[in-house]
Chain A
């Protein structure tokens, strides 16, 4: 089984309000997958479902090729998985050293070499209590605890939120090194599209609890094209209905189409509406994101 994370029809609602609606997700082993979406799109809910912190309403979860359908299977998964939560909360009554000593015995594959390496790299003060650490240091400590576990899968919820650019770069580099050296699969949610583009080879974009784009980042960028059309008058709404058009945005006399199937044919059909000018250009991840969460 090549997929380390696979969900099928995963659904979850809170008090009758759906948070996930039949989410299908597939993350291949060894990949670095960015999990994108607006606030409330269902990213954190997905991560918590994968780790057994929430119970699903419907659907299936397979991690490491095995179904996760009981507490025992969830524990087995957590033995091979590291998690960094969004709030980066650790025990306030422990020092850095105590926190590491506490976590270490739970993971037989614990990597002392990585522990030493990241302690040194992040320059964490071993004797300080967790509340005495800055948010950046707390994040670094959480990352150390996650990366030294020797886990095959690293799941992170907004790992760089609240970090300054220099710390962010340090963290991204550490993650890239870990993936390259150990083949660790990394699955992380983020709002920072630039860092997703920098680090990830795959992305999955969810909106309103459903996956809207998923795949290899370079393939997606090669597949999608932006078609800009300028008209004499207001652009026709019918453009949105053209085969191959994913999204249409209209502003003034300009229409912007996002297309990913047979782009040349889409351009030809669009010309039939009589635009003054037509321009086709590649798209960025940011454009893909914005079009899918804001498109008409």
Chain B
């Protein structure tokens, strides 16, 4: 339990920052020139903003929340290298798998929370057009697909320091985005497409291929992370 408490203390400001960022993106359209703008138009603008930004925000949240605490434990002291307080953590009578489960688990919960927050907002914006079931379907696929992005970030956090983990994850997903636009098979199972409202509108049936592929990918990557962390030397 205390490991989850530590993970929360470690990530709470990141989580708060991401919640703030998402709220900012949503309310930004309200600040646009408002002459002649009706409430309906505002809602419409926010809907567009949500569709455009939700995938990007989900990816950034998944990458950012997987950072500190897995391998690097915050670069508080430059003189002691990137491991920081890792030696203190490793002196506790806890397996490395448990350390990873607590840290990655809390980050995954936070990522899910953010994705659900974004998906749930649709009900507020389009109460008539979207049924609760459709919104739930979208939440499920967005969460599962975001977990694939998150799991890759966790794996990178096990081998790289925080700066390179963030940069590396961004580069990999940009590369993946370009790949999916060229290769149809990749596109069919891409987590990025799976969570997009442009590719699969709310009224479309659940896109099982990217959802299943994302779940498998997340599982494999998290298992690989445990193996990497267990073999790592400090």
Q: Which residues of A contact B (CB under 8 A)?
A: 48, 51-55, 71-72, 75-76, 78-79, 81-83, 85, 87, 89-94, 98, 101-103, 105-107, 131, 142
Residues of A within 8 A of B85 (CB): 89-92
In angstroms, how far is the closest chain B Cβ from the Cβ of A266?
Answer: 45
* Extra contacts besides A48-B87, A89-B77, A89-B86 (16): CB < 8 Å: A51-B90, A53-B233, A71-B230, A78-B92, A83-B87, A83-B91, A85-B88, A87-B79, A87-B80, A89-B76, A91-B9, A94-B6, A94-B9, A98-B9, A102-B2, A102-B5
In angstroms, how far is the closest chain A Cβ from the Cβ of B6?
Answer: 6
Bound Cα distance A94, B84 (Å): 14
- Chain B CB within 10 A, most for which of A54, A81, A87, A102: A87
The answer to whether B95 touches A75, judged by C-beta atoms less than 8 angstroms apart, is: yes
| Chain B contact patch, size range | 20 to 34
Bitwise, B66-106 to A at CB < 8 A (1) or not (0) is 00000001101101100111111011111110000000000
Partner of B87, one of A75, A87, A131: A87
Bound Cα distance A45, B28 (Å): 54
Q: Which residues of B contact A (CB under 8 A)?
A: 1-2, 5-6, 9-10, 73-74, 76-77, 79-80, 83-88, 90-96, 230-231, 233-234
Bound Cα distance A25, B91 (Å): 21
The answer to whether B10 touches A75, judged by C-beta atoms less than 8 angstroms apart, is: no
Residues of A within 8 A of B92 (CB): 78, 103, 106
Given A53-B234, A54-B233, A71-B230; A85-B91 close (CB under 8 Å): yes
Q: What is the chain B residue whose CB lies nearest that of A76?
A: B93
Residues of B within 8 A of A78 (CB): 91-93
In angstroms, how far is the closest chain A Cβ from the Cβ of B65?
Answer: 15
- 25 sampled A-B residue pairs with Cβ under 8 A: A51-B90, A51-B91, A52-B90, A54-B234, A75-B93, A75-B94, A75-B95, A76-B93, A79-B93, A83-B87, A85-B87, A87-B77, A89-B76, A89-B83, A89-B84, A89-B88, A90-B85, A90-B88, A93-B9, A93-B74, A94-B6, A101-B2, A102-B5, A105-B1, A131-B76
Residues of A within 8 A of B95 (CB): 71-72, 75
User: Sorted from nearest, which 7 A-B pairs have the closest CB atoms?
Assistant: A87-B80, A83-B91, A92-B76, A78-B93, A85-B87, A79-B93, A89-B85
The answer to whether A55 touches B233, judged by C-beta atoms less than 8 angstroms apart, is: yes
Q: What is the chain B residue whose CB lies nearest that of A157?
A: B87
Bound Cα distance A238, B62 (Å): 71
In angstroms, how far is the closest chain B Cβ from the Cβ of A242?
Answer: 44
In angstroms, how far is the closest chain B Cβ from the Cβ of A41?
Answer: 19
Bound Cα distance A54, B86 (Å): 13
Q: Count contacts between A and B, CB distance < 8 Å.
A: 79
The answer to whether A91 touches B87, judged by C-beta atoms less than 8 angstroms apart, is: no
In angstroms, how far is the closest chain B Cβ from the Cβ of A140?
Answer: 15
Bound Cα distance A103, B92 (Å): 8
Q: What is the chain A residue whose CB lies nearest that of B98?
A: A75
Q: What is the chain B residue whose CB lies nearest that of A80?
A: B93
Q: What is the chain B residue whose CB lies nearest that of A48?
A: B234
The answer to whether B93 touches A89, judged by C-beta atoms less than 8 angstroms apart, is: no
In angstroms, how far is the closest chain B Cβ from the Cβ of A63?
Answer: 13
Bound Cα distance A92, B74 (Å): 8
Q: What is the chain B residue whose CB lies nearest that of A95?
A: B9
The answer to whether A106 touches B2, judged by C-beta atoms less than 8 angstroms apart, is: yes
Q: What is the chain A residue whose CB lies nearest that of B84?
A: A89
In angstroms, how far is the closest chain B Cβ from the Cβ of A66?
Answer: 14
Residues of B within 8 A of A103 (CB): 92
In angstroms, how far is the closest chain B Cβ from the Cβ of A160?
Answer: 17
In angstroms, how far is the closest chain A Cβ from the Cβ of B14?
Answer: 11
Partner of A91, one of B10, B79, B96: B10
Q: What is the chain A residue whose CB lies nearest that of B12?
A: A93
Q: What is the chain B residue whose CB lies nearest that of A78?
A: B93
Residues of B within 8 A of A79 (CB): 93
In angstroms, how far is the closest chain A Cβ from the Cβ of B230?
Answer: 7
Bound Cα distance A85, B234 (Å): 12
In angstroms, how far is the closest chain A Cβ from the Cβ of B163?
Answer: 17
Bound Cα distance A10, B234 (Å): 18
Residues of A within 8 A of B1 (CB): 105
Bound Cα distance A78, B93 (Å): 5
